[in-house]
């Protein structure tokens, strides 16, 4: 079979771009498909990335693409991948341009889709005053009045990080609290208030959160808010599922050390393959997946 490219990379974020860099460095051919839906589009900065701490996400992607220009085996398609199917020893993919290409391997790097609380103001404040990660957005709101939306055991995993950031912390369970006795005792001992009433909206000015309103008419002033994810995560595409890649209870693809999924020839990296979500870790994951595929491709070539 004649292949148009050795590798199809679905997703042009940190994971996909880093995978492309690894492939380009080893002169492997790859097509990066980017439908321009970056998860961090709402944020004005990305952090915790050496030499680029605080850079705008779009600028970071622009710089990586600039790095990739010297690798003439890497190409980009601005659009989405509609389908991928097994075809002989490789895969056939249909793009949103309605063109069809053949590939030896596939990298799923399309990340996850954040679920917004369906109340006024939440989506508008996402990535600005409402965050999912204190490593990404903690330093900027340290020492302020913070809130934490969540419930159950997952909340208490995040609690130490937010508690240390806040001058005053309030927990919002958005319904009946599902806390164990020892968890309730901890909150009482640390004088951490929790509110079980339903959230009805967010009051804000520009990108700045002012207060949170509830069904009972109460308003609680907050400067920033952290929201725990609801499981399982929703991925940005179902291509992996249609290829029969196995997933775990959190909605992530099950992968080996170098990103190989349960399906031969298919790798996954970035936010869709791990609960550790940051640009730095997604990029590292993408680099590993790219290296894994390079080794697989060259091992196959040697065995021909």
pLDDT tens for each residue of 79-116:
999 999 999 999 999 999 999 999 999 999 999 999 99
User: Which of 179, 196, 227 corresponds to the end of one domain?
Assistant: 227
Whether residue 159 sits in one domain with residue 109: no
Note whether 97 and 139 are same-domain residues: no
- Residue 230: predicted pLDDT: 87
Contacts of 130 by beta carbon, 8 Å cutoff, 6+ apart: 122, 202, 209, 224, 225, 226, 227
Identify the CATH number of the domain in which residue 242 sits. 3.50.50.60
What's this model's pTM, rounded to 2 decimal places?
0.95
Domain boundary among 185, 203, 227: 227
Mean pLDDT of 26-49: 95
Q: Are residues 133 and 194 in the same domain?
A: yes
HSE, side-chain direction, 13 A CA sphere, residue 182: 2
Phi, then psi, of 141 in degrees rounded to 5 = -115, 15
**The last residue of a domain, from among 227, 255, 284:** 227
Long-range residue pairs from 211-218, CB within 8 A, at least 24 positions apart, any chain: 212/147, 212/172
- How many Å apart are CA 223 and CA 4, to the nearest integer? 52
Closest to 71 measured CA to CA, from 20, 6, 5:
20
| Cα–Cα distance for residue pair 118/228, rounded to 1 Å | 15
The arithmetic mean of pLDDT across residues 146-166, rounded, is 96
pLDDT at 1 over 80: no
The reply to whether 192 and 239 lie within a common domain is: no
Q: Which residue has the tokens 């679905």?
A: 10
Mean pLDDT of the chain: 96
pLDDT at 132: 93
Assess whether 249 and 284 both reside in one domain.
yes
**245 and 156 housed in the same domain:** no
> Quick one: 20 and 100 in the same domain?
yes
**Total count of domains within the chain:** 2
Distance CA 191, CA 187 (A): 6
Is residue 267 predicted with pLDDT exceeding 90?
yes
Tell me: do 166 and 147 sit in the same domain: yes
Closest to 171 (Cα-Cα) out of 182, 180, 156: 156
Is residue 255 domain-shared with residue 180, that is, in the same domain?
Answer: no
Please give the pLDDT value at position 304.
Answer: 87
CA atoms within 13 A on the CB side of 109: 37
Q: Can you give the residue range of the structural domain that contains 10?
A: 5-113+231-303
């Amino acid at each position: 079979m004649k292949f148009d490219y050795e590798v199809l990379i679905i997703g042009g974020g940190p994971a996909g771009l880093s995978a492309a860099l690894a492939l380009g460095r080893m002169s492997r051919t790859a097509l990066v498909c980017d439908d321009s839906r970056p998860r961090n589009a709402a944020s004005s900065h990305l952090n915790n990335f050496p030499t680029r701490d605080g850079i705008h996400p779009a600028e970071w992607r622009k710089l990586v693409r600039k790095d990739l220009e010297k690798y003439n085996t890497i190409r980009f398609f601005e659009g989405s991948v509609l389908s991928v199917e097994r075809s002989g020893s490789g895969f056939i993919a249909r793009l949103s341009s309605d063109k069809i290409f053949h590939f030896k391997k596939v990298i799923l790097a399309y990340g996850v889709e954040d679920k917004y609380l369906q109340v006024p103001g939440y989506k508008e404040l996402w990535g600005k005053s409402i965050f999912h990660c204190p490593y990404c957005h903690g330093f900027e709101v340290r020492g302020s009045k913070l809130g934490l939306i969540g419930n159950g055991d997952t909340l208490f995993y995040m609690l130490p990080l937010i508690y240390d950031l806040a001058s005053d912390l309030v927990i919002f369970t958005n319904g009946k609290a599902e806390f164990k006795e020892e968890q309730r005792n901890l909150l009482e001992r640390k004088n951490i208030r929790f509110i079980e009433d339903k959230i009805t909206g967010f009051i804000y000015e520009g990108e700045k959160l002012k207060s949170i309103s509830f069904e009972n008419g109460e308003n609680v002033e907050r400067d920033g808010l952290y929201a725990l994810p609801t499981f399982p995560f929703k991925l940005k595409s179902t291509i992996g599922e249609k290829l029969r890649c196995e997933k775990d209870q959190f909605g992530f693809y099950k992968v080996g050390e170098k990103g190989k999924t349960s399906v031969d020839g298919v790798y996954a990296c970035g936010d869709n393959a791990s609960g550790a979500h940051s640009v730095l870790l997604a990029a590292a994951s993408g680099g590993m997946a790219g290296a894994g595929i390079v080794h697989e491709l060259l091992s196959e070539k040697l065995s021909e």
